[in-house]
Structure 1
Amino acid sequence: MGKIIFNGKIVDRSEVSIDIEDRGYQFGDGVYEVIRVYNGKLFTKIEHVNRLYESAEKVAITIPYEKAELVQTLEELVAINNLVTGIIYLQLTRGNFPRQHGFPSSDVPPTYVAYTREMPIPQASLDKGVRGLLIEDIRWLRCDIKSLNLLGNILAKQKAAEAGCYEAIQHRGEEITEGSSSNVFIVKGNCLMTHPATNLILNGITRRVILKICKENDITYKEEVFTVNDLMNANEVFVSSTTSEVMPVVQVNDKIIASGTPGPITRKLQQFFKQEIENLG
């Protein structure tokens, strides 16, 4: 995986250095995406690239590449690095400029970096389910932007890891928002529920695929706020993300969810999601 993209060109990783006054390094002033690669193909690449541009627009970073050009270079990078199953990480910062809190002048170009990494499908966890830990959501109020400012997420994820849990499930008061790096779903009765796509969550690409699957297969769902009590007493709980796919949560804190095994709707969604991957060809 020795080749990366740096400012639009594919180069050897050893040739690249980032300036100490890059605003991504000093302020977390930038945006990013993670794209899954299955069998050498980029999954939901257009949706990820569109969201990158949306996030950049929300923080007033102008991306100096056409979307089609960016996608083509990403596909070339996957091929050059012979990546079969893994991810592409890509980020843009506001560029290099002497440190000040205000934006640099408009002629300062952004810094764009992308690289590949092998990452297997977490099949054992998908089969058995994982544990979650409830944590108060202390993050800022623009969680809809996929920004580099992830300290709140990192602190939550670390607490979960220290408790032997896969994910931190965050809440503002009694309202469940999302995981530290995932969206959260519950099943109440026969209805799937997830937080609406407001400023309090990131509208995950896998989240969108799941809702599309529900529409196409007559699975009842609501984008509606639910509470900590709803989650703890749900028939099923799962989280979703680019790397976690449809990940069953079978225990939250000390509470076993339902039977303690992945539920039927979760299993059905896993199968439909697998078909989406197979449709890549």
Structure 2
Amino acid sequence: MSRIVYVNGAFVQEEDAKVSVFDRGFLFADGVYEVTSVIDGKLIDFEGHAKRLERSLTELDMTSPVTMDELLDIHRRLVTDNELVEGMIYLQITRGAADRDFAYPKDATPTLVLFTQAKSLVDSPMVGTGMKVISIEDQRWGRRDIKTVQLLYPSMGKMMAKAAGADDAWMVEDGAITEGTSNNAYIVKDGKIITRHLGTEILHGITRAAVLRFAKSAQMTVEERSFTLEEAKAADEAFITSASTFVMPVVEIDGTPLGDGKPGSVALRLREIYLEESRKAAV
């Protein structure tokens, strides 16, 4: 059955959803996006995603065509209309349509698109096996703190990992891990959780913020700093966080097993806490 999607004020069947060929998101990747998870028919951490969306728009001198309250209503209607119990809602705002020119227009009307994706998130089989990652050079643009739709290199990184028989890639810059292709990266050493500090080099993950908050509440030690690829390979365990994977254990880096080669206890406990607390606060 066809999904109901949202395009510029209208809820339509997916086959009827259209945007202009002159849209700057299509021509220049001039747009931002967010992905909000849905569990039990409710939105996980919507407020965090909405705030980051506003920040991304501000950084790119863009405006939202709707208020955040209206955006929440759109999300909820899509959940209802598509009978979405578990999965994700993808949101994209571009600067809008205008004749092709590198200098963007100040008066273009933003394009807003949302659609749902049904997917099993909570009971992912990868939780039991853990992920295998490879390292690749980080060749993205410098403003990774803005959640733009410029995702070609991360897509290439995913394919590099797949070709190597792995699940994902961790990107390396000046010898230090920045992040995964679509997630934040963590290692655990002697019980200490280590993840890169915030800056323009990585995305300010909404799940990252929640997980670190929950970790501190659980009396776990957290250190936000750069860590090298060599440190990562010598770690006791590792994991990633993202809106669609929550907390996912990493068991191997570049063919080197971490710890006993199985999902680590810290990652698994954090996943339990995250799911429990997020379900309580879901809207």
Q: TM-score, normalised by structure 2?
A: 0.96
- Corresponding residue for residue 243 of structure 1: 244
- Corresponding residue for residue 205 of structure 1: 206
- Corresponding residue for residue 30 of structure 1: 31
> Aligned partners of 2:9, 2:223: CA distance in 1, in Å?
40
- Corresponding residue for residue 111 of structure 2: 111
- Corresponding residue for residue 49 of structure 2: 48
> 1:221-271 deviations in whole A, cap 9, x for unaligned?
011111111101001111111111111111111101111011121121111
Q: How does 1:74-113 map to 2 (within 5 A)?
A: 74-104=75-105, 106-113=106-113
CA contact (8 A) 2:247 2:270 kept: yes
> Aligned partners of 2:44, 2:93: CA distance in 1, in Å?
20
Unaligned runs of 5+ in 2: none
Secondary structure of 1:279's aligned partner = helix
Give the letter for the 1:253 counterpart.
D
> Aligned partners of 1:190, 1:251: CA distance in 2, in Å?
18
Q: How does 1:138-157 map to 2 (within 5 A)?
A: 138-157=139-158
CA contact (8 A) 1:8 1:70 kept: no
Give the letter for the 1:44 counterpart.
D
Shift of 1:64: 2.4
> Aligned partners of 1:241, 1:10: CA distance in 2, in Å?
28
> Aligned partners of 1:279, 1:167: CA distance in 2, in Å?
30
> Aligned partners of 1:267, 1:15: CA distance in 2, in Å?
42
Shift of 1:205: 1.1
Provide the aligned C-alpha RMSD in A.
1.2
4+ runs of 1 displaced by more than 6 Å?
Answer: none
> Aligned partners of 2:26, 2:257: CA distance in 1, in Å?
41
- Corresponding residue for residue 60 of structure 1: 61
Q: TM-score, normalised by structure 1?
A: 0.96
- Corresponding residue for residue 161 of structure 1: 162
Give the letter for the 2:119 counterpart.
M
Shift of 1:9: 3.1
Give the letter for the 1:160 counterpart.
A
Identity %: 35
Shift of 1:132: 0.4
Unaligned runs of 5+ in 1: none
Shift of 1:215: 1.9
> Aligned partners of 2:74, 2:269: CA distance in 1, in Å?
35
The answer to whether structure 1 residue 193 and structure 2 residue 194 are counterparts is: yes
> Aligned partners of 1:217, 1:33: CA distance in 2, in Å?
28
CA contact (8 A) 2:45 2:281 kept: no
Give the letter for the 2:229 counterpart.
V
CA contact (8 A) 1:132 1:252 kept: yes
Secondary structure of 1:37's aligned partner = strand
